[in-house]
Amino acid sequence: MSNNLEATIKNINKKLKLGNIQVGVEYQELERIPFSSCRLNYMTYGGIPIGRMTEFSGADGSGKTTTALDLAGQAQRLYPDKKVLICDIEHTFDTVWATKLGVDIDNILYFDPDAMGAEEVFNTLIELLKSDEISLGILDSLGAMVSNQANEKNIGERTYGGISMSLTEFAKKVTPILAKTKTAFIGINQLRDDMNSMYGGTTTTGGKNWRHSCSMRLEFRRGNYIDEKGNKLSMSCENPVGNLVNVSLIKSKVCRPDRKTGYYTLNYLNGIDYISDAFDVAVKLGIINQSGAWFSIVDTETGEILSENDEPLKFQGKSKCLYYLKENSSMYDKMLSDIDKLQTE
């Protein structure tokens, strides 16, 4: 670098009140908040990014709010000195379900905007996020927000633009704040019929700038219902124990987009069945070897079947292998460790 350029950089940096110019960038590993589900961690290479915006979209009942609450519990455990901020636009926060998903409801920062317009909500969120004491912010949901203009009019009176303009301004202002304070932010969005497309389909609310500003976009859809053993049921079944939550990676600027789809198991009584999800990822990565109906746990370094009390860890049927992992926490923890090593490769 020439002396002239070096002197120019020094002069500019003296004048700058914000920002900085430097030669070279220090390598930093991107921090993430992991999901409870190993399947989603595998798909996203470790979870949602810290210091960036993420969008969760989907139809009603697709699992987007449940997944966001799962991440809220994870963030509380990772960053006990910071708060998780939940902005409940829809007024549907369920304390019982949130607790079941691992959220400490006594320590969340709960924002009830009541009848506030979108502009007021966005300004309040920016002030809270500037505090540098928020680990994760969740806005539920963008589709339920109403602009000040719409708030002031009667039902039936036409308004234009919705919240797109204020959301665009919010996205531009909050992006550097999130990066500076290392805060993750999830905007939950609704799917709407795409009226501008001659081919039909769906789109999200809020305009294009919001979608451009998000570093990761995940779309959720409700999958098959399941019984207590994890077997798939028909959509017309009467008493399902849970369902699969199908997830699509629509956009990612923080990991390779080569794992476009995934899913996790949701149990209505116990929340996310993370052991079943870890089992499926272990099979995919070769930590558990499947041969027909038989499953064996193998040593990832030697490829040999592990044994316990001189008996090989080999099980007939997935349910028996899952039962063993649930009853033997040390082996389950070892499997998780092997998954962490292999899933980012």
Residues 54, 194 within the same domain? yes
Is 47 contained in some domain? yes
Structural domains in the chain (count): 2
In a shared domain, residues 268 and 304: no
The reply to whether 321 and 247 lie within a common domain is no
Regarding whether 338 and 266 lie in a shared domain, the answer is no
Looking at residue 160, what is its pLDDT? 54
- Per-chain mean pLDDT for the chain: 90
pLDDT at 148 over 80: no
Average pLDDT over residues 131-144: 96
Instruction: Answer yes or no: is 22 within a domain.
Output: no
E strand residue ranges, the chain: 32-33, 48-49, 53-58, 83-88, 109-111, 134-140, 184-193, 202-204, 216-226, 232-233, 242-252, 261-267, 271-272, 288-291, 294-297, 307-308, 311-312, 314-316
Q: What are the beta bridge partners of residue 134?
A: 83
Are 201 and 329 found together in one domain?
no
Q: Which one of 245, 272, 299 terminates a domain? A: 272
User: Where is average pLDDT lowest: 25-39, 70-84, 124-138, 263-277?
Assistant: 25-39
Residue 1 has pLDDT above 90, yes or no: no
Are residues 192 and 230 both part of a single domain? yes
Considering the domain boundaries, does residue 150 fall inside one?
A: yes
Domain boundary among 250, 272, 294: 272
What span, in angstroms and rounded, lies between the C-alpha atoms of 69 and 186? 10
Task: Answer yes or no: is pLDDT of 184 > 90.
Answer: yes
- Per the CB < 8 A criterion, the answer to whether 95 and 120 are in contact is no
- Single-letter amino acid code for the residue at 173: K
Q: Tell me: pLDDT of 169 over 60.
A: yes
Q: For 243-261, how does the pLDDT look when each residue is reduced to its tens digit (9 = 90+)?
A: 999 999 999 999 999 999 9
Of 173, 182, 97, 79, the closest CA to residue 140 belongs to 97
Residue 135 lies inside a defined structural domain of this protein: yes
The token duo for 178 is 């999130």
Residue 157's pLDDT is 61
Specify whether 260 is located in the same domain as 181. Answer: yes
Q: Does residue 10 belong to any structural domain of this protein?
A: no
pLDDT of residue 18: 75
- For residue 307, pLDDT over 70 is answered with yes
* Cβ-contact 121, 113 below 8 angstroms: yes
Residue 41 placed within a domain: yes
Q: Where residue 296 sits, what CATH number does that domain have?
A: 3.30.250
| Cα Rg of the chain, angstroms | 23
Contacts of 47 (CB under 8 A, 6+ apart): 32, 33, 34, 35, 40, 41, 71, 74
Same structural domain, 219 and 337: no
pLDDT band, residue 73 (cuts 50/70/90) = very high
Quote the CA–CA distance of 288 and 338 in Å, as a whole number. 11
Cis peptide bond prior to 141, omega within 30° of 0: yes
Higher pLDDT, 176 or 26: 176
The residue from 272, 303, 319 where one domain ends is 272
Q: Which residues pair with 186 in a beta bridge?
A: 54, 138
The answer to whether residue 27 scores a pLDDT higher than 80 is: no
Question: Which amino acid appears at position 345 of this protein?
Answer: E
To the nearest whole percent, how much of the chain has pLDDT over 90? 68
Q: Are 265 and 288 part of one and the same domain?
A: no
Q: What domain range is 55 assigned to?
A: 28-272
Same-domain check for residues 259 and 290:
no
Same domain flag for 235 and 168: yes
Asked if pLDDT for residue 200 goes beyond 90, the answer is no
- Residue-wise pLDDT tens digits, 204-219: 888 899 999 999 999 9
Which tokens belong to 122?
Answer: 């966005």
Q: Are residues 187 and 236 in the same domain?
A: yes
Q: Which of 39-53, 75-89, 146-160, 175-189 has the lowest mean pLDDT?
A: 146-160
In a domain, 45, yes or no: yes
Query: What's 260's domain CATH number?
Result: 3.40.50.300
- Evaluate whether residue 9 is within a structural domain: no
